[in-house]
Homo-oligomer: A and B are copies of this chain.
Amino acid sequence: MTRTPSKPFLDRLAGLLGPKGYTTDLDSMAPWLTDWRGKYTGHAAAMLSPASTQEVAAVVRLCADEQVALVPQGGNSGMVGGATPDATGDQLLLSLRRMNRMRSIDTAARIAVADAGVILEAFHQEALAHGLRFPLTLGGKGSATIGGLVSTNAGGTQVLRHGTMRALVAGIEAVLPDGSIFDGLAPLKKDNRGYDLRHLLCGAEGTLGIVTAASLHLVPAAAARRTAWIAIDSPEQALILLRQLDASIGRELEGFEIIPHACLDAVLRHIPQTRAPIAAVHPWYVLAELAGESDQALSDALERELAAALDAGLIRDVVIAKNDRESDDFWRLRDSISEAERAEGPALQHDVSVPVDRMPTFIADNPARLTAAFPGTRALSFGHLGDGNVHHHVQPPVGVDGAAWLAEHGTAVSRLVYSHVIDLGGSISAEHGIGQMKRDILAELDSPARLAALRGIKAGLDPAGIFNPGKLIV
């Protein structure tokens, strides 16, 4: 168990970090003690903002000695309350944002090394300034940090081609729970010295180590992109289309999102200055994007493949964006779904994955499972079909007090969704992680073998439990 930090202990931390690195001022801390979705609020004995890996290590050594809990935080844009302290006020918030230096960029090897606090959008710009591209992006790019993206193994809309953060991490520097510094930044393509700490720390949500820097793979900047908005009958048909595109133009296929008409409809009703790319109503849409070197080659390939799909009756209709502005308009429809759904009223959101070929089954079967147990609910799935990952939103029955209904039935509804996912061999968290939001449901529904292994790893690396206690695993 961790302890309440004493006044003399806090004074030592204040002395170590100086005025820029230490605060207990409530107004300064407030923005970082509530997660950005406003679902979790905590308290902290102090907020620490070290300026270097050595300072992080010194903080951790002190905390290890005193058994005081640390909650690491990057941009505070996580989805599961993983960076919010608990309510006791005994935990220390450890912000990595002050460590925001680019350490190096090697254009020949296409590797950049960045401090944990570098913001994703700044990292994108840094890569572009060197004629390169970091092929991971997501809605929170203006606040999400490299350290947070590594620690949560972030996903986004380019995973289909480039993988999640894990695939882009060439090396990691982290402070371990005993205060030692693990220097694994060297970008080794082969390294069989036993257990892979890089992969273990990636997605560990700060419970095993505090990521202080990362070496990241870059790719050549894409000179061209082409985006298509496709009307289609069903997720089954979309999966067939995906397999066809993958076989013929898989190397250029970077995005493949599916959107049901109800989601598009909500966007059109709630989000200003949006319009449907295809006027007629269709059950489903696919947003597909190619990226490559030649605009003409991409256009030719996309037109050829989609014309064939149209002729074969696999798709109902298609519009290809004529320019970047139209591409952006298509993506805005996709990226506004969550906002539009919020405007519709409260809903339960689930970020789930199953093996790709089982996703149409999940999407088709889940609404009926839900209405059988909870009549009147409406379930919508949209997102990354190519990754076997959809965001699955469940709305309360029409006419009830949504918030009250969710307070009463939400947990049971989610349990039903997650059980279905597990029946299909899937994961109750595809890209958002576990944090505090899914901690208890993970402990309830995951296999005893896996849970015991997770607990063993945690106990072996952080026996005192000072790193982000109460998150991920209990």
Residues of chain A touching chain B, judged by Cβ–Cβ distance below 8 Å, are 106, 108-109, 152-153, 155, 159, 164, 166, 176, 178, 180-197, 199-200, 202-205, 208, 220, 243, 247, 251, 353-357, 384, 386-389, 425-434, 442, 446-450, 452-454, 456-461, 463, 472-473
Q: Are B208 and A203 in contact (CB under 8 A)?
A: no
Chain B contacts of A442 at CB under 8 A? 193-194
Q: Are A472 and B189 in contact (CB under 8 A)?
A: no
Given contacts A192-B430, A196-B202, 11 further A-B contacts (CB under 8 A): A109-B356, A180-B452, A186-B426, A189-B353, A191-B427, A192-B429, A192-B431, A192-B434, A453-B461, A458-B460, A460-B461
Q: How far is the CB of A391 from chain B (nearest CB, A)?
A: 12
Shortest Cβ distance from A111 into B: residue:
B355
Chain B contacts of A450 at CB under 8 A? 182, 184, 193, 197
Shortest Cβ distance from A240 into B: residue:
B108
Q: How far is the CA of A431 from the CA of B190 in the complex (A)?
A: 6
The binding surface of chain A is classed by DSSP as: loop
Chain B contacts of A425 at CB under 8 A? 185-186, 188
A-B contact pairs, 10 of them (CB 8 A): A164-B190, A166-B199, A186-B354, A186-B425, A186-B426, A188-B427, A192-B432, A193-B427, A194-B472, A195-B458
Most interface-central of A185, A195, A429 (chain B CB within 10 A): A195
User: Of the candidates B159, B430, B454, which one forms a contact with A195 in the assembled complex, judged by CB atoms under 8 Å apart?
Assistant: B454
Q: How far is the CA of A357 from the CA of B389 in the complex (A)?
A: 37
Q: How far is the CB of A122 from chain B (nearest CB, A)?
A: 24
Q: How far is the CA of A178 from the CA of B449 in the complex (A)?
A: 9
Chain B contacts of A429 at CB under 8 A? 191-193
Chain B contacts of A189 at CB under 8 A? 159, 353, 356, 386-389
Chain B contacts of A247 at CB under 8 A? 220
Chain B contacts of A243 at CB under 8 A? 108
Tell whether A109 pairs with B461 under 8 Å between CB atoms, given A180-B448, A193-B442, A449-B182.
Answer: no
Q: How far is the CA of A123 from the CA of B449 in the complex (A)?
A: 29
Chain B contacts of A460 at CB under 8 A? 456-461
Q: Are B453 and A152 in contact (CB under 8 A)?
A: no
Q: Are B449 and A176 in contact (CB under 8 A)?
A: yes
Q: How far is the CB of A431 from chain B (nearest CB, A)?
A: 5
Most interface-central of A176, A190, A460 (chain B CB within 10 A): A190
Most interface-central of A164, A188, A454 (chain B CB within 10 A): A188
